[in-house]
C-alpha cells in the first residue's frame, strides 16, 4: 500500500467541485458547498449518527441509501440543517432533485450532508442558484476542494489516498473527512466520504464499512458530545476492473486498506480537536468482557477531570482510577494497574515508586498513551482522545453572531 495524491477523487471515475456560497456569512469567500460524483454506477454503504435527534440531511440520506446505491454527495458547511422540521427535509430533497436533474441520475442516488449551526433554516437563496454551476464544474482534480468545503472549526483539511495492487492492477482508495468538536462515539460530529475504484458487492461493502467504522470513528472522543449530523459514506464504482470478494486472497489486502484509511481519518480528527494540546491513546486490557473494556476506556477518555489534568500536564492517576470505578464495568480496585506514557503510575490500585517528577515530565509530551490493566480477563479496547483546555470553553461559549446573520437573512427572529 502506497500513499498517493488526489484525496477523495484519486480513484478512477470520481469527480468533484466546490464553490463559495457564503452559507454562514454572505461576505465569506471560503469554499462551503461541494459535490462529489461517480461517473459510473456504484455500490454504496453508509453509517449515521445514533443521536435520537437527527438532522434533515441525515434523514434524507438514510432514506435514499436504503433504497438505492449512492452516486453523488452534496455537502455543505456553515449550516447543519438540523432541528429544522419538515421544511429542512424539503430543502434537502430539493437540493438532491436539482443536482439529479443536472447529472441525469435519479434523486434517490444522491446523499446530502450538512454541518454547521444547529436550529437555523438553510439560506437557500444563496445555495439553490449555485447548484447547476456546482454540477457543471465537476473535475477529477478537485478532491482537495471537497475537503476544504466541509470543514467548520477544523484548522486544516483532512484527506488521504492510497493505492494497492490486486490481480496485477492498481486499485485506489480515497477519502476526506471533517470534525473537530462534538466528537464522541457512536459516531462523532463528522463526515467521512470514502471512494474506491474496486468493485464490491453491496452486502460485503456494508459489512466492511460497519467493521471499519467500529474500529475508527467509534473509537474517538474529544468533548463527549454526539452530533445530529454524523455521516460516513462509501462508494465503490469498479472502474479499476478489479472485483474483490470475501474469502479471496485480495479481500484481506482491500479490507486492510479500508480500515487503514478510516483509522487515519479518525486520528486526524482527534489530533485537530478544538483547541486541544494533547493527543492521548487510552488502552484498556485485562477486562473480563469486551463491554467492560469499552466502558472503562470511554469513561477515562471522556472524563472532564482527567482531560483537564492532561491539559495542565498533571499525571493524576487517581482521577483515572476514579473514572474506572464509575464506568459500571466489572472491576476490582485492588487489581487495577495504570501506566502513563510508559511509566508505572499505579499498581494494584496503589501508587508506585515512580517519581512524580518523572511522570510529570512524561505528560509534557503532545502525544502519549495511558494503559489500564484490570487484571480480570483477556478483553481489551482502545479509545483515542484529547485534553480539555480553557480555550475550548472560550471557543464554544457563543454562536450568537450566526443568529444575528440569520436575522438579517429573515430566517429567524
Annotated active-site positions, please?
189
Question: What is d(CA 276, CA 357) in angstroms, rounded to the nearest whole number?
Answer: 23
Say if residues 153 and 274 touch (Cβ distance below 8 Å): yes
Say if residues 73 and 211 touch (Cβ distance below 8 Å): no
Encode 205-220: b = buried (16+ Cβ within 10 Å), e = exposed: bbebbeebbeebbbbb
- Cα 273 to Cα 114, 267, 282: the distances in Å are 19, 10, 16
Say if residues 144 and 130 touch (Cβ distance below 8 Å): no
Helix 304-311 to helix 290-302 angle (10° resolution) is 50
Say if residues 24 and 130 touch (Cβ distance below 8 Å): no
Cell for 116?
Answer: 454547521
Compute the residue count for the chain: 413
Q: For cell 444522491, what's the residue?
A: 110
Cell for 205?
Answer: 461493502
Q: For cell 495542565, what's the residue?
A: 312
Amino acid at each position: 500500500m502506497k500513499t498517493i495524491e488526489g484525496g477523495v477523487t484519486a480513484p478512477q471515475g470520481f469527480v468533484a467541485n466546490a464553490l463559495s456560497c457564503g452559507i454562514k456569512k454572505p461576505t465569506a469567500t471560503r469554499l462551503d458547498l461541494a459535490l462529489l460524483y461517480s461517473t459510473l454506477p456504484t455500490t454504496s454503504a453508509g453509517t449515521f449518527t445514533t443521536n435520537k435527534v437527527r438532522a434533515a440531511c441525515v434523514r434524507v440520506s438514510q432514506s435514499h441509501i436504503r433504497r438505492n446505491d449512492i452516486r453523488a454527495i452534496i455537502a455543505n458547511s456553515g449550516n447543519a440543517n438540523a432541528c429544522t422540521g419538515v421544511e429542512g427535509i424539503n430543502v434537502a430533497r430539493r437540493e438532491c432533485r436539482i443536482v439529479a436533474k443536472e447529472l441525469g441520475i435519479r434523486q434517490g442516488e444522491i446523499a446530502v450532508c450538512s454541518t454547521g449551526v444547529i436550529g437555523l433554516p438553510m439560506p437557500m437563496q444563496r445555495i439553490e442558484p449555485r447548484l447547476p454551476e456546482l454540477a457543471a464544474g465537476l473535475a477529477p482534480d478537485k478532491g482537495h476542494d471537497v475537503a476544504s468545503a466541509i470543514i467548520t472549526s477544523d484548522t486544516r483539511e483532512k484527506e488521504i489516498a492510497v493505492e494497492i495492487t490486486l490481480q496485477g492492477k492498481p486499485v485506489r482508495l480515497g477519502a476526506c473527512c471533517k470534525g473537530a468538536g462534538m466528537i464522541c462515539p457512536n459516531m462523532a460530529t463528522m463526515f467521512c466520504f470514502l471512494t474506491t475504484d474496486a468493485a464490491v458487492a453491496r452486502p460485503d461493502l456494508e459489512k466492511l464499512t460497519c467493521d471499519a467504522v467500529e474500529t475508527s470513528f467509534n473509537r474517538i472522543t474529544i468533548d463527549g458530545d454526539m452530533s445530529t449530523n454524523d455521516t460516513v459514506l462509501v462508494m465503490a464504482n469498479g472502474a479499476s476492473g478489479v472485483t474483490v470478494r470475501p474469502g479471496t486472497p485480495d479481500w484481506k489486502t482491500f479490507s486492510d486498506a479500508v480500515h487503514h484509511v478510516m483509522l487515519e481519518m479518525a486520528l486526524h480528527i482527534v489530533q485537530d480537536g478544538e483547541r486541544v494540546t494533547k493527543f492521548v491513546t487510552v488502552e484498556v486490557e485485562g477486562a473480563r468482557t469486551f463491554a467492560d473494556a469499552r466502558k472503562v476506556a470511554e469513561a477515562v477518555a471522556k472524563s472532564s477531570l482527567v482531560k483537564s489534568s492532561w491539559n495542565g500536564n498533571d499525571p493524576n492517576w487517581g482521577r483515572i482510577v476514579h473514572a474506572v470505578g464509575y464506568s459500571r464495568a466489572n472491576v476490582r480496585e485492588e487489581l487495577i494497574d495504570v501506566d502513563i506514557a510508559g511509566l508505572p503510575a499505579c499498581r494494584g490500585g496503589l501508587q508506585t515508586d515512580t517519581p512524580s517528577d518523572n511522570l510529570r515530565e512524561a505528560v509534557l509530551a503532545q502525544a502519549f498513551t495511558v494503559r489500564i490493566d484490570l487484571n480480570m480477563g483477556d478483553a481489551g479496547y482502545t479509545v483515542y482522545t484529547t485534553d480539555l483546555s480553557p480555550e475550548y470553553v472560550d471557543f464554544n461559549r457563543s454562536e450568537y453572531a450566526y443568529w444575528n446573520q440569520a436575522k438579517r437573512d429573515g430566517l429567524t427572529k
